[in-house]
Structure 1
Amino acid sequence: MTASATSPFWHPERHADRRPALLARARIDAATRHWLAERDFLVIDPPALQRSPGNETHLHAFGTSMIGNDGRGQDMYLHTSPEFTMKKLLAAGEKCIASLQHVWRNRERSALHHPEFTMLEFYRADEPYEAVIADSLALIRLAAEITGIENFHFRGRECDPRAETERISVAEAFMAHAGIDLLASMDDNGVPDGEALAAQMQAAGMAVPEDRSWSYLFTQILVDRVEPQLGNGRVTVLDRYPACEAALARRVPGDRRVAERFEIYAAGVELANGFGELTDAAEQRQRFEAEMAEKQRLYGERYPIDEDFLAALAFMPEASGVALGFDRLVMLATGAQRIEAVLWAPVAE
């Protein structure tokens, strides 16, 4: 019997086809852990079960019930990121920590998405977010070095991971690729105006959807006009997101409209998302509540706020952090075109 793309992952012939990429994954994993150890990162093992899976509008969790000795069930969630636990450890006094482990996100399955995937997340206390940007770029180059690939390829796009990196702000990217003055659609405090953004879209000849919330329009422009232009030929760092699109990032000094959030793209694939971390508990609560109100409006559900996390922020030092999609990096470093090709055992559909 000959294996095909529809054969189960355990079929010997299909596994033989997939094995080279999986062995490359193992080598990249080992090299990444060695790289972290050489730079004094302490690799930790956060628990996956959490009272709150995160409080961002478009992140969806897997829920469960934890039954204690008294027989009562407590709602729990598989984390969408180890972020809350890791920041609590920064508050406890750790300075340089990393996690390379599975996380879970519901409502996500595509060539680049899988409900259970591996995330490399790491933090540096008392360091600016330029430090973790540099770390992320070094790890991307390391993966290419391990496999010996010259260029990343994905869906007709190509990127040289060794070329000089492009760095562009979100506002600059919107103007360059969509003709939109993004900062003109919010006030000096960063409060967005959906109608102002919709008017600019109409003037630029774009279709304006019925939902004119600023966040929805922002995402539509980003996905349709901006992201296709990122990471082509060289890696792109998309920097300084609007504060209202950066729930866990501190604002840029001198401009409350934007925050210290960045994303990294290669060959059109988003690889990393990082922040200069917000440590103001009052502002963080306000942002979480706004995110959950929008989640309720769009999806009819909300997640609890982790009060323990907010309390820990009073002890947390200034820090920077980043989450990097490890499976996506392995995809690019091996030339794979679907995430399942680099997973040892994909979740059954």
Structure 2
Amino acid sequence: MSASDPLPASPWWTPGVHADRRPILLARNRIEAAVRTYLAAADFLLVDPPGLQRSPGNETHLHAFGTTMIGNDGVGQAMYLHTSPEFSMKKLLAAGEMRIASLGHVWRNRERSALHHPEFTMLEWYRAGEPYDAVIADCVALLRLAATTTGVAALIYRERSCDPFAAPERLSVAEAFLRHAGIDLFASMDADGRTDGEKLAAQMAALGMDVPDDISWSYLFSLILTDKVEPQLGLGRITVLDRYPAAEAALARRAGDDRRVSERFELYACGVELANGFGELTDADEQRRRFTAEMDEKARLYGETYPIDEDFLAALALMPAASGVALGFDRLVMLATAAPKIEAVLWAPVAQ
């Protein structure tokens, strides 16, 4: 709940409030059952990765909850609640599994709003030996399944709607920035994908946009995406935002035809990001370089870093080529039930 949201008159656990919330919660259960049936029919093995990890992930803007695991000898070890089951699931791919999925809780700190909750449910799945077009097709099918399960013709978020049964729009990030913000992203990148924040800031200034003091390319990219591009995506029909700049795809392999971009996509409906997927990177040396760069930027911006999971890097040597995606299950339920905020679709929200 954001600071602008009114406080509820009574807690969620009071009988009257719960009675009002219960139809949406029952719809959530129906959607979950339908998703599990879909996964089983597509020969996915449902796995159950542990939430407690030595590394919660190594992306600059993802923040974890830390704790200490104390052994029988009384010695403590720093541990984290995972921000995604990705590392464990890729280790399972390295072990020989080919088609796996997880539907479970993940934790992200510094995140609470109408669309964010510190503990939420993520559906994540991988297809070994298959292109990421296959997991994009899964995403579209699941949005349609949620709508069918709740008996609605459109997904709704506040005043925006999306027909999940219409043919999806597929748009590269560069095309989306040019169309919705007037920004030529490639003009601030070289042929190998290295970025120039000053060139991007100059374009913003020329278009009359506010330019912050921090003109790191990644930060400016995120501002433009959030303010100008995302609100225009998934309106009327699903948008597949494809071919992310390589600098914004730390866990994805580069596109075969253009080193400036990677095999990363995000799926949008009603201006809401629902899924984030990759053609998975399996080069351990390159992955280490990317993680190190991400943690250097995290230290600069937030004064903290997270350890790198050495077992994960070792497992990449055995991991087959694969595609994977993570989908925010709570957000999917929100849109399929026209709920105004994420807490409306949670059986028991985190106290604050």
TM-score scaled to structure 2, two decimals? 0.97
Q: CA contact under 8 A between 2:62 and 2:83: conserved in structure 1?
A: yes
Give deviations 1:228-262, integer Å, cap 9, x for gaps.
11011111000000011001000000211100000
Give deviations 1:187-229, integer Å, cap 9, x for gaps.
1111100011111112222121111100011011111111111
Q: CA contact under 8 A between 2:146 and 2:333: conserved in structure 1?
A: yes
In the other structure, the counterpart of 1:96 is 99
Where does 1:281-300 land on structure 2 (aligned, <5 Å)? 281-300=284-303
Give deviations 1:100-121, integer Å, cap 9, x for gaps.
0000000000001000000000
Q: Distance in 2 between matches of 1:11 and 1:207?
A: 45
Q: Distance in 1 between matches of 2:250 and 2:209?
A: 27
In the other structure, the counterpart of 1:272 is 275
Q: Distance in 2 between matches of 1:200 and 1:125?
A: 40
Secondary structure of residue in 1 paired with 2:125: strand
Q: 2:115 aligns with which of 101, 112, 126?
A: 112
Return the offset for 1:6: 3.1
In the other structure, the counterpart of 2:183 is 180
In the other structure, the counterpart of 2:263 is 260
Establish whether residue 20 from structure 1 lines up as the match of residue 23 from structure 2: yes
Q: Distance in 1 between matches of 2:146 and 2:297?
A: 38
Q: CA contact under 8 A between 2:158 and 2:338: conserved in structure 1?
A: no
Where does 1:243-258 land on structure 2 (aligned, <5 Å)? 243-258=246-261
Secondary structure of residue in 1 paired with 2:139: helix
* Amino acid in the other structure paired with 1:144: A
Q: Distance in 1 between matches of 2:129 and 2:9?
A: 49
Moved more, 206-215 or 85-94: 206-215
Q: 1:81 aligns with which of 84, 99, 103?
A: 84
Aligned length: 346
Establish whether residue 205 from structure 1 lines up as the match of residue 194 from structure 2: no
Establish whether residue 6 from structure 1 lines up as the match of residue 9 from structure 2: yes
Where does 1:120-199 land on structure 2 (aligned, <5 Å)? 120-199=123-202
Q: 1:58 aligns with which of 50, 57, 61?
A: 61
Q: Distance in 2 between matches of 1:328 and 1:148?
A: 17
Secondary structure of residue in 1 paired with 2:110: coil
Q: Distance in 1 between matches of 2:64 and 2:10?
A: 29
Return the offset for 1:87: 0.2
Q: CA contact under 8 A between 2:193 and 2:247: conserved in structure 1?
A: yes
* Amino acid in the other structure paired with 2:36: R
Q: Distance in 2 between matches of 1:345 and 1:7?
A: 14
Q: 1:38 aligns with which of 22, 41, 66?
A: 41
Q: Distance in 1 between matches of 2:118 and 2:206?
A: 39
Q: Distance in 2 between matches of 1:270 and 1:9?
A: 26
TM-score scaled to structure 1, two decimals? 0.98
* Amino acid in the other structure paired with 1:117: F
Secondary structure of residue in 2 paired with 1:264: strand
Secondary structure of residue in 1 paired with 2:243: strand
Return the offset for 1:280: 0.5
Establish whether residue 317 from structure 1 lines up as the match of residue 320 from structure 2: yes
* Amino acid in the other structure paired with 1:279: T
Structure 1 residue ranges without an equivalent (≥5): none
In the other structure, the counterpart of 1:234 is 237
Q: Distance in 2 between matches of 1:23 and 1:198?
A: 48
Q: CA contact under 8 A between 2:99 and 2:128: conserved in structure 1?
A: yes
Secondary structure of residue in 2 paired with 1:323: strand
Q: Distance in 2 between matches of 1:98 and 1:152?
A: 24
Q: Distance in 1 between matches of 2:202 and 2:337?
A: 43
* Amino acid in the other structure paired with 1:148: G
Give deviations 1:315-337, integer Å, cap 9, x for gaps.
00000000000000000111101
Q: 1:345 aligns with which of 326, 345, 348?
A: 348
Q: Distance in 2 between matches of 1:344 and 1:22?
A: 6
In the other structure, the counterpart of 1:69 is 72
* Amino acid in the other structure paired with 2:337: T
Give aligned-pair identity as a percent: 76
* Amino acid in the other structure paired with 2:215: R
